[in-house]
Amino acid sequence: MESTPKTASPPLPRPPADAATVLLLRKTRGTSFDVFLCRRSTKMAFMGGVYVFPGGRVDAADAGPALLDATRGRDAASCAAMLGLPEERAVAHWIAAIRETLEEAGVWLGDPATVRATTMCRELLATKDDRAAFADMVVRYGLRVDLTRLRYFAHWITPTVEPKRFSARFFIAELPADEAAVIDGQEIIDGKWLTPADAIARYAAREFDLAPPTLHSLMVLSAAADLDAALALAADAPVTTYAPEAVFEDGRLALVLAGDVAHPDTPGGERRRFTLVDGCWNYEGIL
């Protein structure tokens, strides 16, 4: 008796790792405001050379007892309710966002605000274990991790086809009055303060690269009339979760969002997608 050949099952998507990202805003002249973009080193395997918002992976150390004890402004239960995660894991997202902003932009979003972030950032970068060093500094200086400095803005999940995936929580924060962004020169090799509209225009002119979540966030920010309106876009909860999926149409790669006619899991009656055209992402649909 001939056996029926077995068909190999497609590999299951890799589960996304937790990540936290900060849209750092500052008021400029008149009603205008800028957002900080930093360029990742070209040597980095993930999005090397791309301009992003400060951020990175949420590490187990971000939920360490010393850091959890140093938080203020929000209780763990409210953080958990906003993110839909267990309490310590949820709070770790706020902590990671503050830590990554210090590491990559040299800006301290904790308390007291008078502590100069550049001094702490140099100490942080002098050690190989950044996350452990961050906890040590918080304890040594008697700092408080002020969770109210961050407003929950959006949730992006990397498409299932990607080998490296993240479940990234996006936050908005205002630059403290006495702080200035200082890049580390290692993981981050350039930093720019730009209006959202200017950043979008420069991307369209092929002056630098952006990832789709960054581009989409800039488009949302560009609709805000001033800094207060931009900060109000982040109402903490509920937020929209964007889980794009990759499809090919007419020979072009598209990342379709929920509600798009071509979305494999949650199709709708409209087009909500990024399409890659000549190496540049173009977005169409409602924001």
pLDDT digits (tens, 9 = 90+) for 188-238: 889 999 999 999 999 999 999 999 999 999 999 999 999 999 999 998 878
Radius of gyration of the chain (CA): 20
188 and 268 share a domain?
no
188 and 269 share a domain?
no
Residue 3 within any structural domain of the chain:
no
Q: What pLDDT score was predicted for residue 23? A: 98
3-class SS shares of the chain: helix, strand, coil, % to 5: 30, 25, 45
Residue 5 within any structural domain of the chain:
no
Q: Is the pLDDT of residue 255 over 90?
A: yes
* Domain tally, the chain: 2
1-5, 155-159, 263-267: lowest mean pLDDT where?
1-5
237 and 262 share a domain?
no
CB 259 within 8 A of CB 270: yes
In whole angstroms, give the CA distance from residue 142 to residue 70: 8
Q: What pLDDT score was predicted for residue 8? A: 52
Work out the percent of the chain whose per-residue pLDDT is above 70.
Answer: 94
Whole-number mean pLDDT of the chain? Answer: 90
Q: What pLDDT score was predicted for residue 1? A: 44
101 and 117 share a domain?
yes
Q: What pLDDT score was predicted for residue 47? A: 78
283 and 192 share a domain?
no
Greater confidence, 228 or 31?
A: 228
> pLDDT tens digits for 75-84?
999 999 999 9
Report CA-CA distances (Å) from 26 to 57, 71, 236, 279: 24, 24, 19, 30
- Domain hosting residue 98, numbered range: 17-242
Residue 4 within any structural domain of the chain:
no
Average confidence (pLDDT) over 109-116: 81
Average confidence (pLDDT) over 262-281: 93
CB 110 within 8 A of CB 144: yes
Residue 86 within any structural domain of the chain:
yes
CATH number at residue 168: 3.90.79.10
